[in-house]
Structure 1
Amino acid sequence: MADTNWRRLLRRAVLGKEGLADPDWPVDHVPRSERRDLLSISAVLLGFVFFAGTMWSGAEVGAALGMRRTFTVMAVGYAILGVYVAMLCLIAARAGLTTVLLARYTFGSAGAKWADLLLGGTQVGWFGVTIPMVAGPTAAYLGVTDPTLIAAITALWGVLHLSSAYIGYEGMEKLSFVAVPVLFVVGVVSIWLAAGDVGGFDALSNVAGEPGTTMSFGAAVTVVVGTFVSGGTQAPNWARFAENSRVAFWAGLVAFLLGNGFLFVSGAVGGAVYDVTPAGDLYAVLAAQGLATVGLIALILNIWTTNDNSAYAFGVAGSEAFGYERKRPFVLAGGVVGIVLALLGASGLLIPWLNVLGTYVPPLGGVVIADFLVRWRLRVPRMDDVTFAVLRPVPVAAYVLGCLGAILTAGSVIPGVTAPTVFPGIPTLNGILVAIVAHLLGYYVLERSGIATTHVVAADATYTHE
């Protein structure tokens, strides 16, 4: 009897109480009664974008261009990133749907499975790549060198990162309400101390790039946009909880323009003033400033609030892929895979992983934006009132062309494999623009004329817009 009760409790912990929907609505529209205000949505999105890798990118650009030109690059890059993410957030709030469910409207019921694999699968990899970023400094701070103990610390952090995603939006919200103010204060203090160490803010703003380090303006903007554009494509997973589309738009803009920009500046400043490896590393910079304990706490919050978003993303992607109304089993399954990847040394793949994400994820977001503007005109029928086509060839073709545009701009996506550089400019931006233009042309030429397959909406459909 006791064994039966234990198994019942375990089943409820993993799957949720039978008969109750997942409180995060992973395969349905978020009802109006569950919507949140600007403070809540902004906190969760800011927690997501406060990521140590952004600081490394800031240090890289700052070292190549100097502080003054870095600010110009940021103005261009974060304007692109902010508007892109804000539009996706607006659409998500209108529909009340995750990115993978928006993809069902755009690509069809089978086409959405690619979005599940792309957005969910890559986030499992991201989860594994980033756990060591906090496990390593934790071990160093504690003086732990034994490989077995370091592996145990890595696994422990992986489990903790899963915990708030397992709880859902509410758990992530509470963590972000604590983490975001702390990270902001620590960032301001660090910049202030760095300015003092270099001779004041005037001296800091005049810091030139390192001799022999070169980077074109376009390449620098690519770094700014590419560091978090793939993550930004996942922003609808949380923006769908916004009480209206205006709240979602401004929360996305604040997080991905101002929040991400603030962290980028922190990295650029730290990289310019302190000789640490990797340049701009949050923990290493704060340790150099005599704040090692503060640095570790900040790093823990920094990685945790990003990685639980990754776990949440592959949880909701799994729910859509298998048509299951609870995300928790997929959070746990993806988390186990991610922890194993971390233990196998996946942390060395961070930069190649960012390149892959920056090529193949943004065109998907571009097609979704174009589709919801021209096909749906932001009037989203409820899923029950739509007979979804298995595949919509126009958006699928537009996505493929967008990826090709990014590849032919970058010249290389996979290490060791080269492609001709045909287009000038920024690979990520070109991928988005090519996808949008291709979809617009295909929609007006092929879908509206009835040549290409699309969905059928019931005559008495109910719409989700405010």
Structure 2
Amino acid sequence: MTTAHRPAAPAKPEGSNPHHSSHAEEYEHEPVPASARRSLMSVAATWFGFPMNLGSAVFGGVIVYNLGLAKGSLAILVGNLVLFCYVGALSHHAGSTGKNFALLTADTFGSRGRNLPAGLLATVVIGWFSFQVGLTGTTLSGSLGWSALGGAAVGGVLYTLLTMAGIRALSLIGMIATPLFLVLTVVALAYGLDAHTTLGDTIGYQGAGTALGFGGAVAIIIAGFADSGTMTADFTRWSKDGRSAVLATLTAFPFANFLANGAGGLIVAVGATANPAKDGGGFLNLLTGHSTLLTGIAIIFVFVNLGSVASHCLYNGAVGWSALTPLRMRSLTVILGTVGVAFALSGVWGYFLNWLNLLGVFVPPIGAVLITDRLLKARTGDRPAGAFRVTALASWAAGAAAAGLAHYTLPELVDPVIGMITAAVVYAAAETVMRRRPTAGRPDPALSA
């Protein structure tokens, strides 16, 4: 028995998925097609809402407490300018190609070699997610007397659901978090101003700490976004082009992050925090106890503010692991969100901060290798990535070793920058040597010239 011949079904357009409509597709395994790219405002909102958070205010306050307002503000500005150059270069690559971080690392580190840098960062950001969930509970407990476990559980569920909505939700929460942060910062400063503190006292604040140097302060700013900043492609791949991706990054660094760091510094400079050495410029306590309305807004602020950070981190982790596995982003969001919440509820998150910040020192060399590789390919042409690219992996290791050595022995230097420069130089040198080596069946170009 024969059957009639059926014409082949038309090919599906690139990026299509039978299980996901186009508006819900997150393009974990392929570049974002031109038809799915988003407006500059949408991508910018994804980025500028991320650093506008209480954690950035805490770091800014600690820096100003140690260095004074003028010197501390300069360190904050320098750190943010370094972040702009670093994250902006990576964003331009993402916007030009539409590729997420894991896909870009495959081009440079190899199809299997990418598993180490991409897997590491996709795991580290889940640690940051867990930290934000735990911080939600302790913040609500310290300011309002709520159950820390209850607050963390509610926050973890909300943040996971938000991340499942995808890139659109990250843009939306950024548009809400930014004005809310700015308005409540002004309110907190108004309540925190000491009647005896003058404008001159604030501007001339010299700081009271001695444990932190200028280089260490700059390093804190860089390390604060070393992980997600390196994974910026997960956000900026949605840009129309490379230029739009850079402009979206500019709204975060230096602008949004500098404002958030600076807000914390002002909180300390006006004497509005009782323990600036530990709490930095955290100002939630200044918003509670005045009225039911303001307290209610402060509670919403906690969930929106910390939720913005947590959802961005979980999105990075889910997109990263989905690119390395056959699983989809939303499935991994549930899995990784559950793991992160479990760590938060167990109390383990309280031990994360030191090693997460330390990993932030070792992460920037990854981005430096990616940037250098793109510059080299623009000059010499593309080349096959292969399974493992030893030059890229070794250069990352060299940069991480240099940054770690500087971190422990030369605290006055900016250790992430040391790591980035070392990785870039080693990679450029290694690639130059490899390109000049004769390959099998092909004479050395220098000998045949």
The TM-score bracket by the shorter chain reads 0.7 to 0.9
Q: Is contact 1:237-1:313 (8 Å) kept?
A: yes
Q: Deviations over 1:236-258 (max 9, x none)?
A: 11111011111111211220211
Q: Does 1:45 align with 2:34?
A: no
Structure 1 residues 319 and 191, CA, compared in 2 at 3 Å: closer, same or farther?
Answer: same
Aligned residues: 417
Structure 1 letter corresponding to 2:150: A
Q: How far did 1:360 drift?
A: 2.1
Q: Does 1:85 align with 2:114?
A: no
RMSD: 2.6
For residue 162 of structure 2, the aligned residue among 159, 164, 167 is 164
C-alpha distance in 1, partners of 2:187/2:254?
A: 21
Q: Is contact 1:283-1:292 (8 Å) kept?
A: no
Structure 2 letter corresponding to 1:399: W
Q: Is contact 2:191-2:286 (8 Å) kept?
A: no
Instruction: Give the aligned partner of residue 59 of structure 2.
Output: 57
Structure 1 letter corresponding to 2:335: A
C-alpha distance in 1, partners of 2:255/2:91?
A: 16
Under a length normalisation based on structure 2, what TM-score does the superposition of the two structures give? 0.86
Q: Deviations over 1:154-192 (max 9, x none)?
A: 122111111121111012222222222222222344345
Q: Deviations over 1:67-90 (max 9, x none)?
A: 111122122211111111111111
Which ranges of structure 1 fall in alignment gaps of 5 or more residues?
Answer: 1-15, 381-385, 412-420, 453-466
Structure 1 letter corresponding to 2:98: G
Larger radius of gyration: 2
Structure 1 residues 38 and 185, CA, compared in 2 at 3 Å: closer, same or farther?
Answer: farther
Q: Does 1:313 align with 2:316?
A: yes
Instruction: Give the aligned partner of residue 181 of structure 1.
Output: 179
Instruction: Give the aligned partner of residue 441 of structure 1.
Output: 429
Instruction: Give the aligned partner of residue 416 of structure 2.
Output: 428
Q: Does 1:260 align with 2:271?
A: no
Q: Is contact 1:222-1:426 (8 Å) kept?
A: yes
Q: How far did 1:424 drift?
A: 6.3
- The 5-angstrom pairing of residues 137-286 of structure 1 reads 137-140=139-142, 143-145=145-147, 150-191=148-189, 194=192, 197=195, 199-210=197-208, 213-272=210-269, 273-277=271-275, 278-286=279-287
Structure 1 residues 152 and 422, CA, compared in 2 at 3 Å: closer, same or farther?
Answer: closer
Q: How far did 1:214 drift?
A: 4.0
After TM superposition, the structure 1 stretch with the greater mean CA deviation from structure 2, 271-280 or 191-200, is: 191-200
C-alpha distance in 1, partners of 2:187/2:253?
A: 22
C-alpha distance in 1, partners of 2:87/2:317?
A: 19
Structure 1 residues 198 and 297, CA, compared in 2 at 3 Å: closer, same or farther?
Answer: farther
Instruction: Give the aligned partner of residue 327 of structure 1.
Output: 329
After TM superposition, the structure 1 stretch with the greater mean CA deviation from structure 2, 133-142 or 159-168, is: 133-142
Structure 2 letter corresponding to 1:241: W
Q: How far did 1:288 drift?
A: 8.0
Q: Deviations over 1:191-212 (max 9, x none)?
A: 45556756454332111211x5
Q: Is contact 1:86-1:249 (8 Å) kept?
A: yes
Structure 1 residues 185 and 393, CA, compared in 2 at 3 Å: closer, same or farther?
Answer: same
After TM superposition, the structure 1 stretch with the greater mean CA deviation from structure 2, 291-300 or 122-131, is: 291-300
Q: How far did 1:18 drift?
A: 2.8
Structure 1 residues 107 and 323, CA, compared in 2 at 3 Å: closer, same or farther?
Answer: farther
Q: How far did 1:448 drift?
A: 5.4
Give the secondary structure class of the aligned counterpart of 2:238.
coil
C-alpha distance in 2, partners of 1:62/1:121?
A: 31
Q: Is contact 1:94-1:378 (8 Å) kept?
A: no
Q: Does 1:389 align with 2:386?
A: yes
C-alpha distance in 1, partners of 2:358/2:163?
A: 24
C-alpha distance in 1, partners of 2:377/2:110?
A: 13
Structure 1 residues 361 and 285, CA, compared in 2 at 3 Å: closer, same or farther?
Answer: farther
Structure 1 letter corresponding to 2:414: I
Q: How far did 1:64 drift?
A: 0.8
Instruction: Give the aligned partner of residue 340 of structure 1.
Output: 342
Give the secondary structure class of the aligned counterpart of 2:205.
coil
After TM superposition, the structure 1 stretch with the greater mean CA deviation from structure 2, 198-207 or 225-234, is: 198-207
Instruction: Give the aligned partner of residue 297 of structure 2.
Output: 294
Structure 1 residues 301 and 144, CA, compared in 2 at 3 Å: closer, same or farther?
Answer: closer
Instruction: Give the aligned partner of residue 30 of structure 2.
Output: 28
Q: Is contact 2:60-2:76 (8 Å) kept?
A: no
Q: Is contact 2:127-2:349 (8 Å) kept?
A: no
Q: Is contact 2:56-2:264 (8 Å) kept?
A: yes
For residue 399 of structure 2, the aligned residue among 398, 402, 408 is 402
Which ranges of structure 2 fall in alignment gaps of 5 or more residues?
Answer: 1-16, 441-449
C-alpha distance in 2, partners of 1:193/1:28?
A: 50
Structure 1 residues 194 and 289, CA, compared in 2 at 3 Å: closer, same or farther?
Answer: farther
Q: How far did 1:54 drift?
A: 1.5
Structure 1 residues 74 and 141, CA, compared in 2 at 3 Å: closer, same or farther?
Answer: closer
C-alpha distance in 2, partners of 1:195/1:58?
A: 18
Q: Is contact 1:362-1:432 (8 Å) kept?
A: yes
Instruction: Give the aligned partner of residue 98 of structure 1.
Output: 100
Identity of aligned residues (%): 26
